[in-house]
Amino acid sequence: MGLGEIVNGLLTPRERMVWEASLARNVRDFGKGSDLAREGDRPTALRVVLSGWAQKYKQLPNGRRQILGLVLPGELCDLDLFTVGRADHSIAAVRRLSVAEIGRSEAQRLFEQCPNLSPALCWAEIIGAAVQREWTINIGQRNALERVAQLLCEIYVRQHGVPFEGGGACDFLLTQGQMAEAMGLTQVHVNRIVQQLRMRCAVELRNMRLEIPDFEQLAALASFNATYLHLGEAPALADRARMLFAVEADRPERPADGGISPAL
């Protein structure tokens, strides 16, 4: 469940107009490999990817790098602007990238004008944490073949959902070197795995596109389960949020002197 689905489920039409106008007037472009934010920097903006992919990473003093996660179009980079004093990881463009960078003062105005925006962004961050847990499982428990298959399944589903039958194609902007950095493998090993997946599942990676003829077969190989992506849950989330806000609105206010509110 991406940020767009959450926003459409939680925000009112007027709030969506305000939010989308803010995204449109704060566009910034980055070239391939350019950093949006660096580890140790003070967070300065709320970032939403509009086109292209961003990668979260950490780099060791000797140059070794681990890609921690990917941010696809319509997804939130993080909530660091409101949560930490210094960034604990870096964010860079995978290839050419367009991002909406909303500064602190405008973000604060957005929260005042759009009361439903705060829970929407929190839910987006919760989904991001769920994806991060799956990546941890990927590196810790899956073998190399399963890791690559899992990554391919996730990238496809985050863009198009789980296909009802057969498969399909989607954007895939990572090089094999970046895939290696994301999965704790060498580039040579990734190349071998890609060749194996081509032979076993007819998977193709070429011209920045991923083709999966039989998604079910690839998902079975990876033990992939899309539950952690919470697809299609936005309507139920919106209903729960409205019920919660209604309960809060009906709750009697506590008197300023700390006494008990009179019974209604």
250 or 230, which is more confident: 230
Q: What is the pLDDT of residues 98-132, one digit of tens each?
A: 999 999 999 999 999 999 999 899 889 999 999 99
Task: Look at residues 136, 162, 195 and tell me which one is the last residue of a structural domain.
Answer: 136
CATH number of the CATH domain containing 59: 2.60.120.10
* 1 and 132 part of one domain: yes
**The CATH number of the domain where 207 resides is what?**
1.10.10.10
Say yes or no: 75 and 160 in one domain: no
Residues 189 and 58 in one domain: no
Q: Describe the chain by its helix, strand, coil percentages, rounded to 5.
A: 50, 20, 35
Adjacency order of strands within the sheet including 54-59: 35-37, 90-93, 54-59, 65-71
CA–CA distance from 21 to each of 24, 30, 55, 71, 78 (Å)?
A: 5, 21, 25, 21, 20
Q: What are the E-state strand segments in 84-167?
A: 90-93, 97-103
Say whether pLDDT at 261 is over 60.
no
123 lies in the same domain as 151: no
User: By the 8 A CB rule, do 59 and 91 touch?
Assistant: no
Same domain, 80 and 193: no
Task: Indicate if 147 and 131 belong to the same structural domain.
Answer: no
Contact status, residue 54 vs residue 98, Cβ threshold 8 Å: no
Q: Which of 136, 161, 188 is the last residue of a domain?
A: 136
Q: Which element (helix H / strand E) includes 149?
A: helix 144-160
pLDDT (average), residues 157-186: 96
Check whether residue 124 and residue 218 sit in a common domain: no
Alpha carbon distance 114, 105 (integer Å): 14
Q: How many domains are contained in the chain?
A: 2
The pair of three-digit structure tokens given for residue 72, joined into one six-digit string: 């696809």
Instruction: Evaluate whether residue 19 is within a structural domain.
Output: yes
Identity (one letter) of the amino acid at 57?
A: Y
In a domain, 69, yes or no: yes
- pLDDT of residue 211 exceeding 70, the answer is yes
In a domain, 254, yes or no: no
Decide if 250 is inside a domain: no
User: Is position 238 within any domain?
Assistant: no
Residue 219 clears pLDDT 90, i.e. is over it: yes
Of 136, 171, 205, which residue sits at a domain end?
A: 136
Specify if 232 maps to a domain.
Answer: no
Q: Identify whether 212 is part of a domain.
A: yes
Task: Tell me the percentage of the chain whose pLDDT exceeds 70.
Answer: 89
249 domain residue, yes or no: no
> Residue 53 and residue 93: Cα distance in Å, rounded?
6
Q: What are phi and psi of 55, to 5 degrees?
A: -125, 135
Q: Containing domain of residue 127, as a range?
A: 1-136
pLDDT at 247 over 60: no
Q: Are residues 166 and 73 in the same domain?
A: no
Q: What is the average pLDDT score of the chain?
A: 90
According to the model, what pLDDT value does residue 4 have? 84
Check pLDDT > 80 for residue 1: no
Mean pLDDT across 182-200: 97
H or E, element range at 119: helix 117-141
